[in-house]
Amino acid sequence: MDPVGEERFALRLEHLTVRYGDGCALCLAERAQAARARQSGNRCPRCGTVWAARDVSLKVREGEILGVVGESGSGKSTLTQALYLDIDPAGGAYYLSSYERGERDVFTVSPQQRKYVRGQLLGMVYQNPHLGLRMRFSASANVAEKLLAAGSRHVGFMMERTNALLAHMEVPVSRVKEPPRYFSGGMQQRVQIAKAVANNPPVLLLDEVTTGLDLSVQARVLDLVKSVQRDFGVTMIVVSHDLAVVRMLADRTVVMLNGQIVEEGITDQIMEDPQHVYTQTLVNSLLL
Amino acid sequence: MLSVEKLSKEFIIHTRRGIRIPGFANVSFEVTAGSLLAVTGPSGIGKSSLLKCIYRTYLPTEGRILYEAQNGETVDLAAAGDWEVLALRRSEIGYVSQFFHVMPRVSMMDILTEPLTARGLEKEEARERAARMLSRAGLGQTLWEMYPATFSGGEKQRLNILRAIITKPRFLLLDEPTASLDSGYKSRIMDMILELKGEGTAMIGVFHDRDALAVLSDARYDFEGQQPLGGVTGALGECIR
Ligand SMILES: Nc1ncnc2c1ncn2[C@@H]1O[C@H](COP(=O)(O)OP(=O)(O)O)[C@@H](O)[C@H]1O
Ligand SMILES: [Mg+2]
Ligand SMILES: [Zn+2]
């Protein structure tokens, strides 16, 4: 039942490694399990190289929401940035079902193709709105820019689509001409989400989308994310240090520690019956 | 439809020097289509843990949970992959939790129509079915567009049950579904559960109250006796010690 054909994966990441530093004989030779067992963080004790992601593999089904949790510094943003092709990994392969039928490693494509993948096949909501938005352009210009980059040239269509997207994300019509720097954090995230889904990408990446927002604003942004998944049918990777966020959104969850995945499972199983000592600690801290 | 074989659950708490906490051990029983197996025993004995293992909110430690799926294939829910379990939850296995977690800012009507439209039903049809069920369960029209966060315990619990049965699952797990209901609503909800059972749904239930146990159950697994006891539908004497 439920064929596990590769074509049903929206995204496949194999053995992603990102490091800051050149590595040395000790850490380059070290296997992932050994590094995990060492339990002394992600920094090589001899050469100081930081292994921000080490041997990270993921499969995400079409339409699925995958949660990624872990404390600050565990490699979550590194992972999302690698998936959005923001950084060059030291190793690994990455396949998208929407690109060459999932047969071509997206990490190795030409700069031009990379631009196409980022513009059309992926959407990204950054933890820091300054990375995702041009703060001095209007909200609608931010969204229109994305459409323009995808080759849209019809001004009427662009205006209409831009306004519809911002309205969908509950950015008041009266404010779409204002630059996001005047917006609250929650409103900035709404503009980022509108921009991220503008070209109907099959995969949407969200890094700490609610972090730093007031609790009541958080709840509304989470509702919005859920409705975006429903209305756009998009596959999502939701990254958060906050288990509660992932619990509310994700079908499955992976737990990161020191740049590696230590546990993965159905979200309610991760929350209610965590197997790894680190996940148990995380869940306990949530219950306190 | 479901056959549980020598199922055990033990929790290993790594944060407390790896101590082991027993959940339950060596549970075996079968559930057939159109019948309800009641799981009984004192509180803390492992009834909810058993249900959670079958739904795979908990990972069983040992044993098998053989489920005969709609498509005729047999799946061991204790060992199946996450995606397979999620797919079954989406299409045919339902669960009513003892405690209801409400989504903030989703209306009662949307909570009920969402699983239907996700299965391809037209929005209008979904609304009609939801409206019929809400009325039957005594949840009046004034509540339909409200967020359940503010509802009473009984209202939330009725909604919780409706959400699980509105899709007519083939297999349903019920953990104290009638616990916080007063008697008028309880009998309405029990009627709806009986109706679903009549349509062929296999069920496993935990009930704290004897009425519900007597009316709903066809067979019983008693944790203290450690063996499945056959029973006759609705026959009070057969079901209660
Ligand atoms: N540009 C960089 N140079 C050196 N180390 C970095 C750089 N970016 C991230 N790191 C390190 O990589 C690790 C993972 O960081 P990050 O992916 O930001 O974690 P998270 O998003 O989970 O908080 C951390 O140890 C961090 O200090
Ligand atoms: Mg981060
Ligand atoms: Zn080194």
- Give residue A57's pLDDT: 97
| Chain A residue closest in CA terms to B87 | A2
- Give residue B238's pLDDT: 29
- Mean per-residue pLDDT for B69-94? 95
Separation of A77 CA from ligand 2 center, angstroms?
4
Candidates B57, B71, B75; nearest CB to A268: B57
Which span out of A209-213, A228-232, B184-188, B215-219 was modeled with the highest average pLDDT?
B215-219
Q: Which of B76, B45, B42, B44 is nearest to B60 (CA)?
A: B76
- Give residue B149's pLDDT: 81
pLDDT > 70: percent of chain A: 95
- Give residue A154's pLDDT: 85
Q: Is the pLDDT of residue A6 over 90?
A: no
- Give residue A39's pLDDT: 63
Q: Is the pLDDT of residue B232 over 60?
A: no
Indicate yes or no: CB of A273 within 8 angstroms of CB of B82: no
- Mean per-residue pLDDT for A279-287? 86
Separation of A24 CA from ligand 3 center, angstroms?
4
Q: Which of B202, B136, B149, B135 is nearest to B174 (CA)?
A: B202
Range with the poorest average pLDDT among A20-24, A85-89, A204-208, B100-104:
B100-104
- Give residue A208's pLDDT: 92
* Among the bound ligands, the one closest to the CA of A206: 2
Q: Where are the domains of chain B?
A: 2-229
- Give residue B229's pLDDT: 42
Tell me the three state secondary structure of residue A139.
helix
Q: Is the pLDDT of residue A5 over 60?
A: no
* Among the bound ligands, the one closest to the CA of A27: 3
- pLDDT category at B102 given cuts 50, 70, 90 is low
- Give residue B235's pLDDT: 29
**Chain A environment of B12 (Cβ under 8 Å):** 275
Range with the poorest average pLDDT among A52-56, A70-74, B7-11, B232-236:
B232-236
Q: Is the pLDDT of residue B89 over 60?
A: yes
- Give residue A38's pLDDT: 66
- Mean per-residue pLDDT for A52-56? 94
**E-strand spans in B14-121?**
19-31, 36-40, 62-68, 74-76, 93-96
Candidates B58, B59, B84; nearest CB to A2: B84
- Give residue A60's pLDDT: 97
Pocket of ligand 1 contains residue A76 by CB under 6 Å: yes
- Mean per-residue pLDDT for A70-76? 91
Pocket of ligand 1 contains residue A81 by CB under 6 Å: no
Q: Is the pLDDT of residue B230 over 80?
A: no
- Give residue A4's pLDDT: 41
Candidates A248, A272, A277; nearest CB to B57: A272
Domains by residue range for chain A, with CATH: 9-287 (3.40.50.300)
- Mean per-residue pLDDT for B95-114? 82
Pocket of ligand 1 contains residue A52 by CB under 6 Å: yes
Average predicted confidence (pLDDT) for chain B: 88
Q: Using CA positions, which residue lies closest to atom 27 of ligand 1?
A: A73
- Give residue A220's pLDDT: 83
- Give residue A221's pLDDT: 86
Indicate yes or no: CB of A219 within 8 angstroms of CB of B106: no
Separation of A90 CA from ligand 1 center, angstroms?
14
Considering only CB atoms, which residues of chain B are within 8 Å of chain A? 11-15, 52, 56-59, 69, 71, 73, 75, 81-87, 103-106, 114
Q: Are B216 and B38 in contact (CB under 8 A)?
A: yes
B140-189 pLDDT, tens digit per residue, is: 888 898 888 888 888 888 899 999 999 999 999 999 988 878 878 888 99
How far apart are the CA of A266 and the nearest CA of chain B, in angstroms?
Answer: 6
- Give residue B225's pLDDT: 66
Which residues, 6 or more positions from B42, have their beta carbon under 8 angstroms from its beta carbon?
B223, B224
Mutate to test the pocket of ligand 1, among A17, A18, A19, A20 (most ligand atoms within 8 A of CB): A20
- Give residue A41's pLDDT: 83
Pocket of ligand 1 contains residue A50 by CB under 6 Å: yes
- Give residue A37's pLDDT: 65
Q: Is the pLDDT of residue B240 over 60?
A: no
**Burial letters B64-83, b for 16+ CB under 10 A, else e:** bbebbbeeeeebebbebebb
**Chain B environment of A222 (Cβ under 8 Å):** 104
Q: Which of B241, A247, A259, A57 is nearest to B229 (CA)?
A: B241
Indicate yes or no: CB of A223 within 8 angstroms of CB of B52: no
A223-250 pLDDT, tens digit per residue, is: 888 888 888 889 999 999 999 899 989 9
**E-strand spans in A136-249?**
203-207, 235-240
Interface with B, mutate which of A216, A267, A269 (most B CBs under 10 A): A269
Q: Are A205 and A238 in contact (CB under 8 A)?
A: no
Indicate yes or no: CB of B11 within 8 angstroms of CB of A273: yes
Q: Is the pLDDT of residue A86 over 90?
A: yes
- Give residue A30's pLDDT: 81
- Mean per-residue pLDDT for A1-9? 52
Instruction: State the Cα–Cα distance between residues A122 and A96, nearest whole angstrom.
Output: 10
Higher per-residue pLDDT: B234 or B177:
B177
Higher per-residue pLDDT: B229 or A36:
A36
Q: Are B147 and B111 in contact (CB under 8 A)?
A: no
- Give residue B241's pLDDT: 25
Q: Is the pLDDT of residue B58 over 50?
A: yes
Q: Is the pLDDT of residue A286 over 60?
A: yes
Pocket of ligand 1 contains residue A171 by CB under 6 Å: no
B28-44 pLDDT, tens digit per residue, is: 999 999 999 999 998 88
Q: Which CATH number fits domain B2-229: 3.40.50.720, 3.40.50.300, 3.40.190.10, 3.40.640.10?
A: 3.40.50.300
Q: Are A179 and A138 in contact (CB under 8 A)?
A: yes
Indicate yes or no: CB of A269 within 8 angstroms of CB of B56: yes
Instruction: State the Cα–Cα distance between residues A236 and A250, nearest whole angstrom.
Output: 9
Mutate to test the pocket of ligand 1, among A77, A205, A257 (most ligand atoms within 8 A of CB): A77
How far apart are the CA of B110 and the nearest CA of chain A, in angstroms?
Answer: 11
Mutate to test the pocket of ligand 1, among A78, A79, A83 (most ligand atoms within 8 A of CB): A78
Q: Are B115 and B123 in contact (CB under 8 A)?
A: no
Q: How many CB pairs under 8 A join A and B?
A: 58
